[in-house]
Structure 1
């Protein structure tokens, strides 16, 4: 395998000059740079990423910790992270925790020991956790994706879930609905709580009453939405519309309603949350609240790079705003 010394000998320059050209660490004239690059090409020289990482104290690698989920929302976010890393010349190591606290802490240890340049955390089980290990790596920048209060320093990207929940319920009100139910996510999670608060705000603003039989806490999964709709159905009279706090649960609701011969939106209108890719292919197409998932992943990478450039800057919070996407699952009722 060719070395820098071999290149220096062939190009007729010093080894340090070769290093400056290869690593772009100092200005070298165009004529000499061309000689060095030509020699490197002739010798099929491949720089050692490991050696370069030790010299520059950078591995050009980010780590990402996430909870495994069947929800394609997470995959769409990871796609944004991966593509942004590629565009910036970074590698990405993704670790799935599967909701296991022990595995989560082991994964954090693994990523830090691999000398990643920064960490992206998208893991609900981190909420309220204290990680002493982060104190051993104070120079590693961390970006957390919208999981509520943390007991460690980090930059944060969050979806405005309060506004998203409000937009969803307000749209149902403006469509003429007065009996509006809500299938929430786990209310111990920050986003689920905020979406529910937004729903309540919109109903209070419209002076509409709440019916406890039409409000069910669920789990953000298809099966949870299926069971939640069956719970509402078992109470008797159905609301004219339901805000389902993510699209995966909305899929379960549509399935349960179809089994019972309940038509959407003719009998019950639905609005979801997330705008996952398959939402527009549901039958009917799902009206939902769009989260900028690709932008969420892209922003995480951008924040890590900015933190690497300026480690002393104050912790930042970037809030991404949700928007309404109208499709066919909400019926307009004449006032």
Structure 2
């Protein structure tokens, strides 16, 4: 593998001149720069990222940990992270936990061993966890996305799920619905709790009682919404509308309704949450609460880069606001 010394010999210049040209640290005449670049090309020379990172004590790499899910929500957030990393001259190493607690801890250790400059964590097993890796490397900034209480210092980027659930309940009530149910996310998950709490707040303010027969817990996946609706339609009385706490479960619920001859929205109105890209392309297109996924990813990168460049910055919480997206799954009664 060619070195700077080889380039210097072929170009007839000093090794330090080659370094100035390759690293663009000092002005070198156009004629000499051309000779150096031509020699580098002939020798198939590529700068060593490892050598540069050891010299500068920075790898220009950010690690990201995500929970495994068929939910395209995660992919849309990662897209925002990757795009902003690229624009800022950083590489992204992405690790998937596949929903496994041990793999999560091993992945964090691996990313720390790779000497990443910062970490972005989006993982459902963080609540209450303490990581020895963070204690050993206290100068590596960590940003946590969209989760609940954590036992280590970190910036947090999150969607205002409480307000999002409230908007969903308000929308159904505004369309004349009083017999309203809910398919929640996993009740152990912070965001699921907040969406359900916001939804119940809207009902309470309108003087509407929530029938427990119309509340089922899902898993944030399509099959969770499908199974939950199967249970709800077995109850003695049926709701006229459902708040389903994410779009994937809403799609599963719509599929189950279709199998049972229940028309959405004529027989049952449904509102989802997240506004994934697929939501507007199903039939009928899904009314939902938009979560700013791309901006969540961008905000996480901005937060971790700010910490990398200004390590003494105080930790903060950045909260992005959801908004209602009206389509075709809610009927006025």
Query: Above 0.5 in TM-score?
Result: yes
Q: How does 1:264-279 map to 2 (within 5 A)?
A: 264-279=264-279
**2:245 paired residue number:** 245
Q: Displacement, 1:13?
A: 4.4
**1:78 paired residue number:** 78
Q: Displacement, 1:150?
A: 0.8
Asked if the contact 1:81–1:298 (Cα under 8 Å) also holds between the matched residues in 2, the reply is yes
Asked if the contact 1:17–1:28 (Cα under 8 Å) also holds between the matched residues in 2, the reply is no
Q: Displacement, 1:2?
A: 3.1
**2:180 paired residue number:** 180
**1:27 paired residue number:** 26
Q: TM-score, normalised by structure 2?
A: 0.94
Asked if the contact 2:216–2:228 (Cα under 8 Å) also holds between the matched residues in 1, the reply is yes
Q: Displacement, 1:225?
A: 0.9
Aligned partner of residue 187 in structure 2, secondary structure: coil
Q: Displacement, 1:271?
A: 0.1
Asked if the contact 2:62–2:116 (Cα under 8 Å) also holds between the matched residues in 1, the reply is yes
In 1, the alpha carbon distance for the partners of 2:265 and 2:248 equals 17
Aligned partner of residue 289 in structure 2, secondary structure: strand
Q: Displacement, 1:42?
A: 4.9
Q: How does 1:61-210 map to 2 (within 5 A)?
A: 61-210=61-210
Report the count of equivalent residues: 332
In 1, the alpha carbon distance for the partners of 2:287 and 2:29 equals 58
Asked if the contact 1:279–1:286 (Cα under 8 Å) also holds between the matched residues in 2, the reply is yes
**1:227 paired residue number:** 227
Long gaps (5+) in structure 2:
none
> In angstroms, what is the RMSD of aligned CA positions?
1.7
Give the 3 Å change call, closer, same or farther, for CA 99–44 of structure 1 in structure 2. Answer: closer
Q: Displacement, 1:214?
A: 1.2
Q: Displacement, 1:91?
A: 2.1
Q: How does 1:33-44 map to 2 (within 5 A)?
A: 33=33, 36-44=36-44
In 2, the alpha carbon distance for the partners of 1:67 and 1:155 equals 19
Q: Displacement, 1:40?
A: 3.4
